[in-house]
Amino acid sequence: MLKTETPSSEHAQLDQYPVPDLVAAFVDDQFNAVQAVRAAAPRIAEAIEAAVPRIEAGGRLVYVGAGTSGRLGVLDSVELYPTFSWPPERAVALLAGGEGAMFKAVEGAEDDREQGARDLRSIGPGASDVVLLLAASGATPYVLGALHAAREAGALTIGIANNAGAPVVTGAHVGITLDTGTEVISGSTRLKAGTSQKIVLNTISSAIMVRLHKVYRNLMVDLKPTNAKLFARTVRLTVHATGADEAAARAALEACGFHVKVAIVALLKKVPVPQAESLLARAGGSVRGALNAEAPPASLS
């Protein structure tokens, strides 16, 4: 029996626990998710190192999963745009059962290996793409079908599972095993198995974005402000990064369409917005590189 399906020996009388003990059992078990991710850290780092050159070459992040794993992939994909201004077309999520399965379980969808392959092929995978394949069991047919199609297309495949020796791990270019063991409620992998997958996805996508210069120091300087909260955040980030007062930060942001990177360079280099944009372009989007570069001459026009 898979570890993720094996009943926990620690909580055999769970249904009789008083509420405080129920809370303790569920919360305390989550620490095992963190430990499982820590144990897999070398493989996670390997996956990031392999992914960055492909993404730099124009590739996409493609997430594939069913049920909880698939929904976690969707979640990671949609949050990259507001957080890092990552183009939505370069963060694609494939969920067994289609979009409707995000809100309601589609029975049997995860068992269709051929549909997984068809869905992956339908997005036109290429050698620069990075395909993250998630399955707690590690043997979900839909995910294995997509894995086969991704490898066939030459894409980088990263398999993430919660059972050792799982096919999605052994069949991928980089396999990540998150050995979370038994669940408090046996077989309910939306618990710590799901938590461990969320941590890994956060880590992989965030680390890639750091390597793509979308973070300066530890500040998210390439966010896309799409609401009042995020507009206010751009001001706070610019103030924090530059030491400018709020009025100066807001003026710089307004001049560059609230692009935090540009505002930071303009304020710290004391150059107009077009020169700041030019510096950033020459530095490949790196704020540090732009700040260390010599400012280009101002346009005479």
Where in the sequence numbering do the catalytic residues fall? 79, 110
Look at residues 189, 156, 161, 155 and name the one whose alpha carbon lies nearest to residue 176. 161
Residues in the chain: 301
State both tokens at 205.
């996508």
List the structure tokens of 65: 């999963």
